[in-house]
Structure 1
């Protein structure tokens, strides 16, 4: 017999990821020493806001979904909880510490890269949970997070060269 897990619970976590990401980017933008970096982090904050809206809208439409065949409800719930709790913006107050420690561009960009990678992994799992008609929105967010990761890497390279 198939077990069901509420995808809207995962969508709630996605909304929170995007909210915390936006907060992180705004805080590091305020600390940025040059205009290019400040504008870049503000752009990323805006992107997180767009994703937050996408997931907030999904939240209302999602119900229960079938779990992967390899897991029980408890196993999958534990796995998803682990993904969320190990996310760089969720692990026990470290997000706030990261934000306060991001005094230099190199540190802020590296933290942002970790955040983006964790988010991609979470969204890839989420994509497999939502109904087929909703996967396109999650896919677009994954693609945009991948783009953010590439742009962060490019910015890190530029900052190190200057």
Structure 2
């Protein structure tokens, strides 16, 4: 089985974090309500913190600088994990067509965070054993966002 270095996994995760950060920035501009704007700015800031944390993790890991290629099915699978259609809705035109209410935005946000967990859970399978714990910590970071968003959705919807 091919394995990924922790740096490669973290770099892929950082790309997803940047896309979520950009999504939250777009959402914060979309709504007039001050509380909703602040909520999504807070989420944007959390993503910025994750990018910083993930970069620190990547930079602290001492690994050999080897280049591997992932051909065939493995390469296609890895590209699909990183470059999925869910993030295409971050574009302002697409976004404004799909997000009408704060609950819509929260639902998309939960989907993005679940996507991050799926990504890291898949990556842990392709990580050397000595680095699996690092990837699991990244999953824990994303779970915090889902809990926060789920509670927020419950509060806003009254359910």
> Cα RMSD over matched residues?
3.0
TM-score relative to the length of structure 1: 0.75
User: Which of 90, 94, 112 is 2:89 aligned to?
Assistant: 94
TM-score relative to the length of structure 2: 0.76
Q: How do 1:2-151 residues align onto structure 2 when only pairs under 5 Å count?
A: 3-5=2-4, 8-60=7-59, 61=61, 63=65, 74-86=72-84, 88-89=86-87, 93-96=88-91, 97-101=93-97, 102-151=99-148
Count of residue correspondences: 153
Q: Is the 8 A contact 1:65 1:131 kept in 2?
A: no
Tell me, which stretches of 5 or more residues in structure 2 are unaligned?
none
Distance 1:3 1:123 in 2: 16
Tell me, which stretches of 5 or more residues in structure 1 are unaligned?
67-71
Structure 1 pair 73–15 and aligned structure 2 pair: CA distance change class (3 A):
same
